[in-house]
Structure 1
Amino acid sequence: MDLPPSPSQVPPQLLADPVFVQALAGRDFAVVFAMAHQAGVSFNRISEGCGIKADRVSKVARGKAAVTALETIERIADGLRIPGAFLGLAARSWEDKAASPGAELDEGDDPMQRRRLLRGALAAGLTGTALTALATTRQSLDQALAAEVPADLADLEAAAESYGYGYHGQPPTRVLADLVADFAEIRPLLADPGPVAQRVRVCRIAGQMAGMAAIVLHDLGARTEARGWFATASRAAAESGDRQLHAWILAREAMVPLNYGAPKAAVALAERARHTAGSRPTAAATLAASVAARAYALAHQDDQAREALTAADRCMECLDDSQRADTWLTHGEQKHHVHLSHALTALGDTRRARESQTRALELSAPTSTMTRTLLKIDAAACAHHDGDTEQACRRTTAALTHLPADYRTGLVHRRARDLYRSIPATHQHERAVRDLRDALAA
């Protein structure tokens, strides 16, 4: 039976406030309670509605206490009438499906309508509304992974294969919207009983698509959301029994901390990926060794980085043509040199780094906008390492300036900012350095 209206219900406009939505996603109840109070919901009402003592509500709102227990979080969702998806929970019993965030994206709706809604939400950027829609779609499959499977999967397998070819000149948000719309089609296949072999196929597709959605979110700079999608991908891959897919997901996940300032965490994930992939030379094993080399280099563990580079090269030489294809799910020569470029640049081996940059650019299609930009920033970092800081800044500024707006993502910005931060203070007054700083600020 539905619950009656709650006197502590937060005003509907709060659920459209990006700050409030972000606080809910992070379960930051200091912000949640404080904003609810500012919107006219007294601490006493929050206390009564959520079954929490009033003095504790006040302490939480002031950051003097925290809420971590799942049972308490569920009482807060029910007391404040916050739909479960906002807090990473299942839909609450009182929720009106039509008013639930992401409900318009439910699997019962027309797939084209779902795709249009996702594109519209993402076109405005990774706002609270868009992130809620993404999380709702992912969590719905998480809930269904406990069930069994069904039917003809050829279309979904073909869709997963097509997404593996990357952006192909499309804006990342457009690719993400389409990916998530197709990903939502997987859930019904997990809801019906069927042969084990069919469930294995469905879980494999789910792992591939969730992994690729995580890649796009990583490229866009949405680290928390990327980790959530990688977790779903890992769960699906583990259930499918495909160790190579699981290793690929772990290696790709390692690139989140790798590219956002946590190389030691990246090392741990990359080594897990190497262990999962096993000793055979596969695309996943080659990727895992390549990512490990980059992480070790950034962590200033040069010997381990060179060992991983040697292992990656050795694996690469043994890959057959199917595993050398130029897709996200395989490990082609172009991708290999992109990884080598970054690892060798971090190691200060600028001669070999430039060789890999040149080869990677030769193999990159003109539509590989993001990859080509990252290679240019690596080349600029080599120039800085070799003493030409002015040229390094000019190259990086040009790379950022000429980049289409849709590709000015968190990853590209972070790589350029890392170069800027490596420039000694004695150079900060120089024109080229100031131009780079202004380009980053813009």
Structure 2
Amino acid sequence: MSPRSCGCTRRRRHRVTSFEVVCRIADGLRIPGHLLGLAPRPWEKQEQTQPPELPDRRPAAADIPWRPDATVDLAADLTRSDLVMDRRALTLALAGAAVTGAALLDSLEGWLQPAAVLPPPARRGRLGMREIDELETTARAFRQWDHRYGGGLRRKAVLGQLAEIAGALDEHQAPDIETRLYRIMAQLAGTAATMAWDSGLHHRAQEYYRLALRAAHAGDDQVFGANVLAGMARQMLYRDRPDDALQLIQLAQEGARDVIGPRVRAMLHTREAWAYAAQGRTAGFHRATARAAEALAEAGTGEDEPYWIAYFDEAELAGVTGGRLLDLARQDPRRYADRAANEIRTALSSRGTEAGRSHALDRIGLAECRFLAGDIAGGAEDTHRAVAAARLTQSGRVRAQLGQLYPYTVGHSASRPVRDARDSIRDLLSN
């Protein structure tokens, strides 16, 4: 092996862990500071001093125009900056809080406008339908992996595939190929968002959600765009921002009202119900939940709607409803704890460990219901089942929920089953 090749090998093995190195990478690759959680770089400030007629080459993500070519540039920027850093450096640099309020909502208004039509390029790439079919299969596989295992175990692989899609779109393809490529980009970006979120990278997750929405817009996929907005709403609900979540759901319903099928409509109603429950509006919660059940009853076979919504069935509706009743039970356990437990048991009876993250969250929720209802022994028993389910997934959200379950096991030192349950949670979270 030549000295040059040895040097390349050593460089590939070097891990980016120093904050100073991250800064040098940003300057060398001209990556804007906001994409890496940094202050604006010196060269950005110089560009801002250019005459007014010269536009900023790298606008902030929220200000990027809703054009297909701008979406491709955004995908290239996001993936390039993520792929050069290891997990530890990425966590330090990009784990900022998600954008909320008007700063978030105003940046998404372009979703409601028709996609811009660009002049045809002089040359086109040579991707064919066979390659597109393979890319769609890969996107499905990554989505299924995230649904079952969660976390960021394959996040870099998803980002690498996303970068490849951006490269293919940058070369321009035949119109029907480009449309499908944008739709694949949207699905991969949505998966990258949930993986980033599961890894605690909340701001980065939001950036990928934005990319997914823009890609769905460019690919004229209003149904998946509504699904992306529902994902963003769920993130806001976990961040205790129900007002933002409700507006995001309303934006999804407005932009895709004429094209969504009953399963997607039912899913949107459950997110709406979640927001109402978080606001303490119990009448609105029950009304939206009833609408979700009515919409789901209209659903036919899985062939009638996109593959990615097939998970939303009666078991999913029961699990989501149980989770929202659990939210209410924390304020009024006598009224809601048993009702929440019954809904969660219905979900568990219909889906097992193959549901991965959802199954583990159901187990944790049921254990909390038992504690809230005063059934300490039953709560301890279900806690052991919850920990066993949590061991089968790498989801950060599952571990966060286990952390919220832990206080219920404190203060019962005389009970051996509760002590054992507490130790099982501590052992899992310490690894």
- TM-score band (shorter)? 0.5 to 0.7
Instruction: Structure 1: state its 5+ residue gaps.
Output: 1-12, 33-48, 52-69, 76-83, 91-101, 107-116, 135-144
Q: Which has the higher contact order (CA 8 A, sep 6+)?
A: 2
Equivalent of 2:134 in 135, 155, 166: 155
Cα gap change, 1:412/1:263 in structure 2, threshold over 3 Å: closer, same or farther? farther
| Structure 1 residue 412: Cα displacement | 1.4
The letter for the 1-side match of 2:45 is: E
| Structure 1 residue 329: Cα displacement | 4.1
Cα gap change, 1:259/1:328 in structure 2, threshold over 3 Å: closer, same or farther? farther
Equivalent of 1:412 in 392, 398, 422: 398
Kept in 2, the 8 Å contact 1:14–1:20? The answer is no
| Structure 1 residue 365: Cα displacement | 4.3
Deviation sequence 1:62-85 (CA, Å, 0-9, x none) = xxxxxxxx636989xxxxxxxx9x
State how far apart, in whole Å, the 1-side matches of 2:262 and 2:92 are: 34
Q: Normalising to structure 2: TM-score of the pair? A: 0.65
Aligned to 1:338: 319
2:229 is the counterpart of 1:229: no
| Structure 1 residue 371: Cα displacement | 1.7
1:173-188 equivalences in 2 (<5 Å): 173-188=152-167
Cα gap change, 1:429/1:356 in structure 2, threshold over 3 Å: closer, same or farther? closer
| Structure 1 residue 353: Cα displacement | 3.0
Equivalent of 2:374 in 355, 380, 387: 387
The letter for the 1-side match of 2:212 is: A
2:352 is the counterpart of 1:370: no
The letter for the 1-side match of 2:295 is: C
- Partner of 1:197, secondary structure, is helix
Q: Normalising to structure 1: TM-score of the pair? A: 0.64
1:264-413 equivalences in 2 (<5 Å): 264-278=243-257, 281-322=261-302, 328-333=308-313, 334-348=315-329, 349-388=336-375, 391-392=378-379, 395-396=382-383, 399-400=386-387, 403-404=390-391, 407-413=393-399
Aligned to 2:71: none
Kept in 1, the 8 Å contact 2:151–2:396? The answer is no
Deviation sequence 1:234-282 (CA, Å, 0-9, x none) = 1111112221111011001211122243333322222322333316543
Equivalent of 1:71 in 45, 53, 67: 45
Cα gap change, 1:169/1:19 in structure 2, threshold over 3 Å: closer, same or farther? farther
Deviation sequence 1:123-171 (CA, Å, 0-9, x none) = xxx322589899xxxxxxxxxx989775322221222233343447656
State how far apart, in whole Å, the 1-side matches of 2:225 and 2:184 are: 12
The letter for the 2-side match of 1:309 is: T
| Structure 1 residue 185: Cα displacement | 1.8
State how far apart, in whole Å, the 1-side matches of 2:422 and 2:365 are: 18
Kept in 2, the 8 Å contact 1:274–1:289? The answer is no
State how far apart, in whole Å, the 1-side matches of 2:394 and 2:15 are: 29
2:89 is the counterpart of 1:128: yes
Cα gap change, 1:262/1:388 in structure 2, threshold over 3 Å: closer, same or farther? farther
Q: Identity over aligned residues, as a percent? A: 18
Kept in 2, the 8 Å contact 1:286–1:331? The answer is no
Kept in 2, the 8 Å contact 1:323–1:332? The answer is no
Deviation sequence 1:202-228 (CA, Å, 0-9, x none) = 111111111122122223332112111
How many equivalent residue pairs?
Answer: 344
State how far apart, in whole Å, the 2-side matches of 1:232 and 1:299 are: 29
